[in-house]
Amino acid sequence: MSNSEPDQAASFAGLGIDDRVLRALSGVGYETPSPIQLATIPHLVAGHDVVGLAQTGTGKTAAFATPILTKIDETLARPQALILTPTRELAIQVAEAFGRYSAHMPGIRVLPIYGGQSYGVQLAGLRRGAHIIVGTPGRVIDHLTRGTLDISQLRFLVLDEADEMLKMGFQEDVERILTMAPDDRQSALFSATMPRVIRDLSRTYLRDPAEVTIKSTTKTSDTINQRWVLVSHARKLDALTRFLEVEPFDAMLIFVRTKQATDELAEKLRARGFTATSLNGDIPQPVRERIVGELRAGKIDILVATDVVARGLDVERISHVVNFDIPTDNDSYVHRIGRTGRAGRSGEALLFVTPRERRLLRSIERSTGQPLEETQVPTVEDVNAQRVSRFEDTITENLSNSDLALFRRLIEGYEREHDVCMADIAAALAVQTTDGSAFFLKPDPPERARSERPGRDVREKSTGKFGERPGGGRRRSGDRRMATYRINVGKKNKVAPGAIVGALANEGGLNREDFGYIDIRSDYSLVELPADLPSEVFDALRSTRIGGVRISLRREEGAAAAPGRDRDRGRPGGFDERPRKSFRDRG
């Protein structure tokens, strides 16, 4: 293996990439290649296998996607490239990235296949013909077993975030796929770390790969106070509006991933009474310049934008930058928050993180060398207290208004004529300013108030230790009882605890705290999971396949997984006792 790391900047044009891909890169705002792209693209374009060691968010997707698109045969509508990812979220992200980079290659078809999505959608896509498949190992194995996916003529195979894949128990599936792929394929393996199992994998299945190691040097300004908040995707808008109400700001720049999202979010904010507008690549340049001018002049307070159009934006009024959608590229995060805290001024940066995106948060912290401070979504009480304060400030400001004497005479006349006290008249006038909307924010429903702070995922709150059985029955924090479920795979299927946990977590959106004991028996296994699994999660898990075998999950009444009977039992998922991130944290 050779070890290389770029020491000078270059352009994408000099890396041998197809001109149509170069146009797409320019269209999404890529100006110069990142270190991992600069180091690996020439190797991949030249047809060499590559092992790339770099943190998440360093631009690895473009590093392997651009050479694949450059070398793919558009006339052959069959799987030519297979990218394996550890989670369905990452599979979707990678597939979307391929779509962006192939914007000027209309004949290219990209198909994501992952657990939790209907087989019908994926089968239809496979029948139509796809050049590039992006999938999770378990679902890829399912399609290979069914005969619905043919990789006999595969030309490119990529393992993305290989260390995470193996941690989640997919080693057997990954090796099976590598064995089934053609020997003359070109392979690339990307990983944040190089444990022994990854090195063994590369030595066994890659051909004299070039090894590239990239050390992150991205830094952020000390003048920016960086915070993050855990919030479910469905509650992002509610959380954002609470911050807007409670947090004093001059002007705010909010980043989202797509052009469509800029328009949608800006419209929703305007409906809630905020002066917001969108800025994206579909807006003509003269209109963009007018919008930026209005932001500088204070006619607009909130700008919802994408990365591309906000590059180079320098408006002194911007006191806050909000990453409504977390960037998947660490450099993008640095560029985004760099729109505030400029020229020595202080700024605020707030990052919204869903439970599945905590992996990206940790990557940002490692890359920038600066931990972000966790904060909480403002409570109902916080919002209502701020509304009262603003109401009182409005009264104070208008006490010096020149028209005050005129309206005082009118109100005094109304008071005498209708025998209504002054306080009631003032209250009636205040009601007019609400436009019929409620003045106070309504309290959260009792169930939510008990189980979660606004914006926090309930399952992330659990603090119970695995394997505890207080009072004779194992319960999670919040008094949530566990139940034993039976799955139709066991020792005869050579299944490992990690494979069970990885498959169930991927298909059902479970996290580590949702698993109890795992007892692997001869032809079946017993797994402790929450007793109150939602029906849609139960249905998804029931049809899950492990190693190509449908597990047919069902509740095992009266049975219990037996802890401590062998080295894999009594430890959830067969993991060691060191604290680990939850499965939601991984993607």
**3-class SS at 212?**
strand
Exposed/middle/buried for residue 70 (C-beta within 10 Å: 0-12, 13-18, 19+) = buried
The one-letter code for the residue type at 454 is P
List the alpha helices (DSSP H) in 298-421.
307-310, 330-337, 358-368, 380-398, 404-418
Least confident of 106-110, 122-126, 290-294: 290-294
Task: Look at residue 287 and tell me whether its pLDDT is greater than 80.
Answer: yes
* The most confident of 320-324, 479-483, 502-506, 557-561, by mean pLDDT: 320-324
| CATH C-level class of 224-379 | alpha beta
The rounded distance, in Å, linking the Cα atoms of 231 and 324 is: 10
pLDDT 10s digits, 78-93: 999 999 998 887 888 8
The one-letter code for the residue type at 230 is L
CATH 3.30.70.330-classified regions of the chain = 462-586
Percent of the chain surpassing pLDDT 90: 38
Give residue 468's pLDDT.
31
> Which CATH code is given to the segment(s) 462-586?
3.30.70.330
The rounded distance, in Å, linking the Cα atoms of 124 and 122 is: 5
The rounded distance, in Å, linking the Cα atoms of 165 and 587 is: 11
The rounded distance, in Å, linking the Cα atoms of 146 and 142 is: 6
pLDDT 10s digits, 232-269: 888 899 999 999 988 889 999 999 988 889 999 999 99
Give residue 510's pLDDT.
77
Tell me if 140 sits within 8 A of 133, measured CB to CB.
yes
The rounded distance, in Å, linking the Cα atoms of 34 and 13 is: 13
Least confident of 40-54, 67-81, 434-448, 479-493: 434-448
Q: Crossing angle, helix 88-101 and helix 19-27, to 10 degrees?
A: 110
Give residue 331's pLDDT.
74
Helix (H) or strand (E) holding 507, with range, is helix 497-508
Give residue 267's pLDDT.
94
Helix (H) or strand (E) holding 265, with range, is helix 259-271
Quick one: average pLDDT of 393-400?
78
Q: Which long-range contacts (CB under 8 A, 24 or more apart) does 176-182 make?
A: 176/141, 177/82, 177/84, 177/137, 177/140, 177/141, 177/144, 177/151, 178/205, 180/144, 180/151, 181/82, 181/151, 181/154, 181/157, 182/151, 182/152, 182/153, 182/154, 182/155
Tell me if 178 sits within 8 A of 186, measured CB to CB.
no
Helix (H) or strand (E) holding 527, with range, is strand 525-530
The one-letter code for the residue type at 297 is A
pLDDT 10s digits, 178-198: 999 999 999 999 998 888 889
Give the tokens for residue 513.
């705290």
Quick one: average pLDDT of 20-39?
88
DSSP summary character for residue 88 = H
**3-class SS at 205?**
helix
List Cβ neighbours of 426 (8 Å cut-off, separation of 6 or more). 411
Higher-confidence position of 401 and 238: 238
- Residue 583 pLDDT class (50, 70, 90 cuts): very low
Task: Look at residue 569 and tell me whether its pLDDT is greater than 60.
Answer: no
Exposed/middle/buried for residue 196 (C-beta within 10 Å: 0-12, 13-18, 19+) = exposed
Q: Phi first, then psi: what are they for 198, rounded to 5°?
A: -70, -45
Helix (H) or strand (E) holding 374, with range, is strand 373-374
Task: Look at residue 560 and tell me whether its pLDDT is greater than 80.
Answer: no
pLDDT 10s digits, 514-531: 888 888 998 899 999 988
DSSP summary character for residue 444 = P
Give the tokens for residue 440.
């106070």
Most distant CA pair in the chain, distance:
96
Tell me if 5 sits within 8 A of 212, measured CB to CB.
yes
According to DSSP, the β-strands at 545-546 and 549-550 are: antiparallel
DSSP summary character for residue 571 = S
Task: Look at residue 60 and tell me whether its pLDDT is greater than 60.
Answer: yes
Higher-confidence position of 199 and 476: 199
- Please check whether the domain covering 3-213 is classified as CATH 3.60.10.10: no
Quick one: average pLDDT of 312-326?
87
Higher-confidence position of 510 and 299: 299
Give the tokens for residue 134.
């992006």
The rounded distance, in Å, linking the Cα atoms of 459 and 451 is: 9
pTM: 0.51
Give residue 559's pLDDT.
58
Helix (H) or strand (E) holding 503, with range, is helix 497-508
Higher-confidence position of 284 and 580: 284
Tell me if 63 sits within 8 A of 191, measured CB to CB.
no
The rounded distance, in Å, linking the Cα atoms of 157 and 164 is: 17
Sheet holding 251-255, edge to edge: 276-279, 302-305, 251-255, 318-323, 347-353, 224-230, 373-374
Give residue 508's pLDDT.
77
List the alpha helices (DSSP H) in 57-170.
60-71, 88-101, 119-128, 137-146, 162-167
The rounded distance, in Å, linking the Cα atoms of 103 and 94 is: 14
The rounded distance, in Å, linking the Cα atoms of 458 and 513 is: 11
Task: Look at residue 319 and tell me whether its pLDDT is greater than 80.
Answer: yes
Higher-confidence position of 132 and 572: 132
| Rg of the chain in Å (alpha carbons) | 28
What Cα–Cα distance (Å) separates residue 77 from each residue in 109, 401, 403? 8, 72, 74
List Cβ neighbours of 412 (8 Å cut-off, separation of 6 or more). none
Give residue 190's pLDDT.
94
Of 360, 295, 321, residue with least CA distance to 164: 360
Exposed/middle/buried for residue 81 (C-beta within 10 Å: 0-12, 13-18, 19+) = buried
CATH 3.40.50.300-classified regions of the chain = 3-213, 224-379
Quick one: average pLDDT of 383-395?
76
According to DSSP, the β-strands at 480-487 and 318-323 are: unpaired
The rounded distance, in Å, linking the Cα atoms of 46 and 210 is: 11
